[in-house]
Amino acid sequence: MSTKVGRYATFWLASASLAICLGDALGSGLANIVLIGLNPLIDAIKFAEPFQSWIVDTDALRMEPSSALIPLKLPAYLIHFSSYALTGLLADWAIRRTMSR
């Protein structure tokens, strides 16, 4: 089995998640849309109580109610990174299992 990190889905998905989270934290509108739109977990719970107060910065949302961009808090970034890393681990496991047969 190869030990090259670049061959693992976990590495690429975690790297993509870090880039998306960093882009959103730096104010990129596209990264905000991608962060929420490509993560069904965050998309499903972003406005559900009690998760809304943990994930969405409701104070900033009240100041800019017409904005399509949703200001997020740190737990949203942690959920995004964790879900992408877990998806990568599951993909790597499935690939290894398929290749070993």
Question: pLDDT digit string (tens) for 42-80?
Answer: 888 877 788 778 888 777 666 655 556 778 888 889 999
Question: How many distinct structural domains can be found in the chain?
Answer: 1
Cis bond leading into 50, ω under 30°?
A: yes
For residue 12, is it within any domain? Answer: no
Is residue 65 a part of any domain in this protein?
A: yes
Is pLDDT above 60 for 27?
A: yes
Give the pLDDT score at 5. Answer: 63
The CA distance from 14 to 82, in Å, is 8
User: What's residue 41's pLDDT?
Assistant: 86
Asked whether residue 1 is domain-assigned, the answer is no
CB 35 within 8 A of CB 80: yes
> Phi and psi (nearest 5°) for 2?
-75, 145
Looking at the domain assignment, is residue 37 inside a domain? yes
Could you tell me which residues are beta bridge partners of residue 72?
Answer: 56
SS3 72: strand
- Domain range spanning residue 30? 19-100
81 domain residue, yes or no: yes
Between 7 and 3, the more confident residue is: 7
